Amino acid sequence: MAAEPIPVLVLTGPTACGKTELGIELAERLGTEIISADSVQVYRHCDIGSAKPSAEQMARVRHHLVGVADPKEEYNAARFRDEALAIARGLWSEGKMPLVVGGSGMYIKALTQGMNLAGKISPEAEAQLELIKGAGGQGLLYEKLTDVDPVWAARIHPNDTFRVWRGLGMFLTTGKRMSDIFAENPDRPPCQALTLVMDIPRQTLRRRIGARVETMMAMGWLKEVNMLKEMGYNTYHKPMSSIGYRQMFAVHNGMMDALEAKAAITKGTWSLARRQMTWFRKVEGAVFISLDGSETAAGAAERVLLLDDVKIFFSLHGVKT
């Protein structure tokens, strides 16, 4: 029998909106710990470029799932869900409201809404996929997927590289269509979540992104990349191909200068922020917190805890603040 869903409070929002500071303030007031939902902070050694919480911030509130994986490891939504759920259950058993803080929408969805993540694509299927891609690119992959699983193909965009690859790869691995896998094994949310989304004015967010990129470069981001390169990591490894690290590796390799990198990172981060906001707007039941960018994290935390949605959520689960 599946365990009963547990309550989880989620604080999310676009990159550079101030999630870390507000999350710490909320955790202190609730007497709880933070489960990080950040797909780059999860890796060791990627400190400056992922905007990891500082040592002082980590000392104020315990953060889970920060720096727990080697950059060469595969860390995905499925692993996050399993590890975050175990931590959340532990916190709840201690009488603490689990607090998830981060901007990785897929990770948060896996934990709070449930995702049927199926299994792994076999090496043999991966090789077949590479041959198909080499022969006809993304178009041929989608055409092959449509032939074997038209129901799944109709649900996704032809240019959705991840889902096309996964759908065809799972068929080649198991002989089962992805649409059937989902129908046979519907995933159920392991948590009852209240999702809070930080929403600040676009121009304010753009300024914050620009300022953060400058600060990160001044902190020695290039030295961090040099260190990572010396340790044997490169852009073939997942975190190193993320926005920011990819450009800083180009600087390290002499393919881009620092000013070009700063402009490219700022532009790429702004595009990421816009995609994140589009994603969060589709989260059912999400509560948006309007902030003007000048409010302190302490002030914002007090306001969050006075929201009717938050008070009702806490009351339903017997949590006192």
Q: Where are the domains of the chain?
A: 6-115+188-316, 123-184
Tell me the mean pLDDT in the region 139-162.
Answer: 89
Greater model confidence, 74 or 108: 108
DSSP 255-286: SS-HHHHHHHHHHHHHHHHHHHHHHHHTSTT-
pLDDT of residue 161: 80
* 30 vs 47: CA distance, rounded Å: 27
pLDDT of residue 19: 97
pLDDT of residue 118: 55
Greater model confidence, 109 or 184: 109
**DSSP label of 12:** E
Q: Is the pTM of this model over 0.85?
A: no
Residue 316 has pLDDT above 90, yes or no: yes
pLDDT, the chain, mean: 92
pLDDT of residue 1: 40
Greater model confidence, 180 or 10: 10
- The predicted-structure confidence for 197-227, as pLDDT tens digits, reads as follows 999 999 999 999 999 999 999 999 999 999 9
Question: pLDDT > 70: what percent of the chain?
Answer: 95
pLDDT of residue 48: 97
CB within 8 A of 71, min separation 6: which ones?
Answer: 43, 44, 45, 46, 228, 233, 237, 238, 239, 240
- The predicted-structure confidence for 161-188, as pLDDT tens digits, reads as follows 878 988 898 899 888 888 887 776 555 6
Residue 126 has pLDDT above 60, yes or no: yes
DSSP 173-230: HHS--HHHHHHHS----SEEEEEEEEE--HHHHHHHHHHHHHHHHHTTHHHHHHHHHH
Greater model confidence, 241 or 100: 100
> Per the CATH hierarchy, to which homologous superfamily does domain 6-115+188-316 belong?
P-loop containing nucleotide triphosphate hydrolases (3.40.50.300)
| CATH class of this structure's domain 123-184 | mainly alpha
pLDDT confidence tier of residue 3, bands split at 50, 70 and 90 = low
pLDDT of residue 80: 93
